[in-house]
Structure 1
Amino acid sequence: MSRRFQIIAVALAVGFALSACGSENAQSGANTSTTATKSTTGTKGSGMDMQEAADRADSMLDAVLKEIDPEVQWAHGPTTKGSCDVTRRRTVMTIVSADRRQSFLDQVEKFWRTSDYRIKAKNNDTEFPAVYAVTKDGFGISVSVRAKGQAFFEADSPCVKESKVADSESKPNGPAYKGVYPLPSPNVRSDHWSAGAS
């Protein structure tokens, strides 16, 4: 009887020891998991808030629009906030004819590639083409041609800390259309970009 009791006591002791060890590992794993999650979030948003993310998106949009040659006229689209992200938009007011759309997108794509953005997807539709790219710090940027051949740029942030977001400080190179939404159809003619447009 006492022998059986000793065996049970030893088994219980070992069981408790293993259980405690498992708890420590589980606790350690939980801490590691939290650290990993925080680290991933930190890498993506670099600890920035929505205003800083909006400023970064503006600088990305400024850069690509300055690169287009010859210059196109643009206006701000609406800024939107998600639960933890922000999107800045620009609308091209220059008429880009069907004959020039591909060369317009080619210029944009080339600049993004040389800026070390990864081209995530492309829509090669002749009427509504688009290019989607992503930066190493998790920002998405796209250009798409929509109704009446109007080109739209969007820059989306990764998940960042919530904050207020002010209007963009980037100055449009034409009418601001402040308070106007939706913006008018493209209405600025360019000898180059509008060639062949009716």
Structure 2
Amino acid sequence: MKGPVRLLGCVLLATVLTACQGGKEREEPKMDMQQAGERAEEILDGTMGAIQPSVEWARGLTGETACDAGFSEPTGTTSITRSRNVLTVVSRQRRGELFEMIQRYWERQGFQDFDVDSAEDMPRTRAKSPDGLVVILSAGDIGNVSVTAGFACAKDSPMTYPKGTPSRPGGPTKSERIPHEHSSYWSATGS
């Protein structure tokens, strides 16, 4: 069940990023793919660094989806996503605290338009920065937490990836997703 849930999250993010603009004229891209990737990595690294006590994490999968103007007419732009998977088990009792800590960090970075789904089994928080970066924090029912950052329709350009990015040269072939590290703080189940 974990694979389909993660896949659904990725599909939802791709849908959010490439959503139709309802007949409005498309804006010029604010950045190219390389800049968008670097911006996403910067926010993801900062998000992981804002979690105290610190957690173990791994780079997650990346995504690139060509934007089109309808009928598969290319626009010369591509939506990009980057992600982080928390490898430290986060107990249900600690999830709310983790979500609040990350939301405060995002607010300090200028993110707005927070959309919070407080579902008990799989909570999710989504926000957007003034430059168009969308971030999504989600948790699963086995203590797994992931953060995804994406930018819709960046100008097509060559793009590089940080060392250790899954399915990219020099990186692992698969993304580590299942939490397996224990933390005396984040994994605690007592009050």
- Pair in the same fold by TM > 0.5: yes
Q: 1:89 to 1:194 in 2, by over 3 A?
A: same
Q: 1:190 to 1:141 in 2, by over 3 A?
A: same
SS in 1 for 2:93: coil
Following superposition of structure 1 onto structure 2, how do residues 89-108 of structure 1 map, counting pairs within 5 Å?
89-108=83-102
Segments of structure 1 that go 5 or more residues without pairing to the other structure are 1-35
TM norm structure 2: 0.73
The reply to whether residue 66 of structure 1 matches residue 49 of structure 2 is: yes
1:64-89: CA deviations, max 9, x gaps? Answer: 11011000111011111011110001
Among 142, 147, 152, which residue is 1:158 paired with?
152
Q: 1:125 to 1:177 in 2, by over 3 A?
A: farther
Segments of structure 2 that go 5 or more residues without pairing to the other structure are 1-23, 67-77
Q: 1:51 to 1:177 in 2, by over 3 A?
A: closer
The reply to whether residue 88 of structure 1 matches residue 71 of structure 2 is: no
- CA distance in 1: counterparts of 2:120 and 2:141, whole angstroms: 12
Among 114, 120, 123, which residue is 1:120 paired with?
114
Contact 1:128 1:149 in 2 (8 A): no
Deviation at 1:159, TM superposition (A): 1.4
Deviation at 1:147, TM superposition (A): 4.2
Contact 2:138 2:147 in 1 (8 A): yes
Contact 1:113 1:119 in 2 (8 A): no
Amino acid at match of 1:191: S
- Relative to its length, the structure with more helix (as a share) is 1
Contact 1:119 1:131 in 2 (8 A): no
TM norm structure 1: 0.70
Deviation at 1:148, TM superposition (A): 1.2
Amino acid at match of 1:86: I
Q: 1:177 to 1:127 in 2, by over 3 A?
A: farther
Q: What residue is the counterpart of 1:28 in the other structure? A: none
SS in 1 for 2:153: coil
- CA distance in 2: counterparts of 1:170 and 1:55, whole angstroms: 15
Q: 1:161 to 1:184 in 2, by over 3 A?
A: closer
- CA distance in 2: counterparts of 1:167 and 1:49, whole angstroms: 14
Greater C-alpha Rg:
1
SS in 2 for 1:137: coil
- Relative to its length, the structure with more strand (as a share) is 2
Amino acid at match of 1:128: M
SS in 2 for 1:88: strand
Contact 1:89 1:155 in 2 (8 A): yes
